[in-house]
Amino acid sequence: MKVTITTLLLSISLISIAQVPDWTETTCDGTEYNMQTELNKGNAVLIDFSAMWCTPCNTIAPATEDIWQNFDSGNDNLMVFGFLYQDNSFNTSDCQDEFVWTTAHGLSYPEFIDIEDVLFEYVDAYSDNGSVGFPWLLLFLPEDSQHTEDYLAYNGHNIEEVNQILNDVWVPQLGIEENLSSEKTLVKIVDQLGRETSYKPNTALIYVYSDGSTKKVFTLE
């Protein structure tokens, strides 16, 4: 597939097709998710198509995690799903790649591998010429009083503009009043076995914050 980094298109005018393409995917830890199920729950859904070789994908991954954390890790009417297309050698991603990717960027939202079929289906539905640039971000909002169907609220590459739509459109719709960018403090650091520890380079760690959220951290030195 031709993959190019293209100019961002911000679309609050909202693109709609007859039905959002459905999918059922399973994470490497065995947890299954379904697109239509999440929308039927009344959740917004942010999809991030990325590849390990893609420099901008690596850049925005922590910001995507921040959005996930700000919406209480899936408990505040937003689900974030990562679709990891290829590794650094342009091979189809596998569970080892998923571990390296999520650990390197401290990602805790669900990440899927071997996702070519879903990617191509969404390219067919939402690209003009069969070509998309990575990272490719798609934000879907569930039907409401003004929309009789679930709809695509964003199609582009800029995570800050996704955040803007969430704050300007989705948050008021939910009636959420809390400040989604409120400060939180680090409470403790634990290792993969849950044992409290201190900062260590080249080691997978979990940061636990005052608001109950956690973040995987791996720092190379």
DSSP string, 116-163: HHHHHHHHHHH-SSS-B-SSEEEEEE--BTTBSS-EEEEEES-HHHHH
pLDDT at position 43 is: 94
Band (91; pLDDT cuts 50, 70, 90) = very high
Q: What is the pTM of this model?
A: 0.73
CB 60 within 8 A of CB 28: no
Band (206; pLDDT cuts 50, 70, 90) = confident
**Separation CA 72–CA 63 (nearest Å):** 14
Q: How far is CA 179 from the centre of its chain?
A: 20
Q: Which CATH entry fits the domain spanning 24-174: 1.10.3720.10, 2.40.30.10, 3.30.420.40, 3.40.30.10? A: 3.40.30.10
The owner of tokens 């031709």 is: 2
Looking at every residue in the chain, the average pLDDT score rounds to 83
C-alpha distances (whole Å) from 185 to each of 36, 72, 102, 143 are 35, 15, 22, 36
Domain boundaries, the chain: 24-174, 186-217
Q: Tell me what the mean pLDDT of segment 137-148 comes to.
A: 84
Tokens found for residue 129? 């010429």
The per-residue pLDDT for range 4-31, each reduced to its tens digit, is: 333 333 333 344 444 799 999 999 999 9
Closest CA to 62 of 100, 17, 102: 102
**Separation CA 84–CA 213 (nearest Å):** 23
CB 185 within 8 A of CB 213: no
The per-residue pLDDT for range 144-174, each reduced to its tens digit, is: 767 778 889 999 999 999 999 998 889 888 8
pLDDT at position 76 is: 81
Tokens found for residue 63? 């910001």
**Separation CA 127–CA 15 (nearest Å):** 11
Give residues with Cβ within 8 angstroms of 2, minimum separation 6: 130, 131
Q: How many helices (H) and strands (E) does the chain have?
A: 6, 11
The identity of residue 16, as a single letter, is S
